[in-house]
Amino acid sequence: MGMTLRTSGFADIPAGTEAFPCSTNSVNFRLFILFLLAAFMPLIAAADIQLPPVPAPAIAPPATGVPASPEPPMEIRRAIAVGETAPVAAPSVTKIVFTRCAVPAPVIAITFDDGPNPDHTPRLLEMLKVRNIKATFFMVGRCVVTWPHLVKRMVEEGHEVANHSWSHPLLTSLGNTSLDSQIQRTHDAIIKACGIAPRHYRPPYGAIGMSQRKYIHEHFGYSTILWDVDPLDWKTPRNSKKVQERILANTKSGSIILTHDIHGSTVDAMPATLDALTARGYQFATVSQLIELERETASTVVATAPAPVPLTPEPTIPVVPMSTLPPETVAPAQPAKAVGLGE
Ligand code: NI
């Protein structure tokens, strides 16, 4: 998406030339063209959503426990999508949990959990590359140290890397020492693999206590990223067509879509799913880009709003009993010496 309108060509044509003779008629014609441009500019702008560039790979800050990766440069020309109105809310700079973002345009984030996976992640990356779609990968630390070249490739190709714990435990069952270890080891492994410090994490099974998410935000600077679209791609029997149908049925502007790149059926569903979402007018953003779009939107709206509106309370995240957890699997890490790492 993105239309570029060039008007500078008028200035490039010297007046009085044969191609553009200087006469009253031609002046009127130019005024008429300028009138048309002014009249249709809002429509053109509505189709022009420029997402911020994903931060270029950089030397990551030392793993001190409180990473300080900078905010990505923001230069968003946004527009109100047809049929949608901008939300009125206070700036959400203090919001640390996201299930979906309030954005005024058809922008979404697709996320892939539990990888990287040596069989399915590479072909997924190819699918994303040919479509110029940027995604966010919530990775398990022990897979990161086993296949670090895939993490490096994600960053090189413009995707966002994020933390999904070291070994995919139920974080609500852990004390702070174990919780620290799960997050810190993965944080360090991602930096070692690609040179970028993650800015977000997703708790396995979406299960995280209220005090834990605050603790993780304070100690690691992470936002908690959940989801509003779950195609149940981990459930057996796995079915690519159903994954596609569920995503298409539930995605809306600002959605955060949960999927897993450890399942071949999920990756098989992606070409048709991504193409259908694109055909519906959705633009893909990384999670950081989507959050930034919400924050900028909220700031802009509040600045012009006649009266403040109370914040919507954040949803309570249920603690999932272990017995009801889905049979989500994580690819076992290979022995460290097989990949030459000292883990
Ligand atoms: Ni997971």
pLDDT of residue 310: 55
**What distance in angstroms lies between residue 85's CA and the mean position of ligand 1's atoms?**
34
**What distance in angstroms lies between residue 338's CA and the mean position of ligand 1's atoms?**
24
pLDDT of residue 305: 56
Residues with CB under 5 A from ligand 1 (ion): 113-114, 204
pLDDT of residue 155: 98
Burial class (CB in 10 A: 0-12, 13-18, 19+), 87: middle
**What distance in angstroms lies between residue 164's CA and the mean position of ligand 1's atoms?**
7
For residues 71 and 292, the answer to whether their CB atoms sit within 8 Å is yes
Burial class (CB in 10 A: 0-12, 13-18, 19+), 224: buried
Instruction: Identify which of 288, 270, 308 has the alpha carbon closest to the alpha carbon of residue 197.
Output: 288
**Annotated catalytic sites, by residue?**
113, 260
**What distance in angstroms lies between residue 169's CA and the mean position of ligand 1's atoms?**
9
**What distance in angstroms lies between residue 241's CA and the mean position of ligand 1's atoms?**
21
**What distance in angstroms lies between residue 167's CA and the mean position of ligand 1's atoms?**
10
**What distance in angstroms lies between residue 236's CA and the mean position of ligand 1's atoms?**
15
Going residue by residue through the chain, which has 343 residues, state the pLDDT in tens, using 9 for 90 and above: 333 333 333 333 333 333 333 344 554 555 454 444 444 443 433 344 566 554 544 434 334 443 333 333 322 222 323 333 333 343 345 899 999 999 999 999 999 999 999 999 999 999 999 999 999 999 999 999 999 999 999 999 999 999 999 999 999 999 999 999 999 999 999 999 999 999 999 999 999 999 999 999 999 999 999 999 999 999 999 999 999 999 999 999 999 999 999 999 999 999 999 999 999 999 999 999 999 999 998 887 766 655 555 554 444 444 444 444 444 545 545 543 333 333 2
Question: Has this prediction a pTM greater than 0.75?
Answer: no
Q: Which domains does the chain have, with CATH numbers?
A: 97-311 (3.20.20.370)
Q: What angle do CA 71, 74, 77 make, to 5 degrees?
A: 155
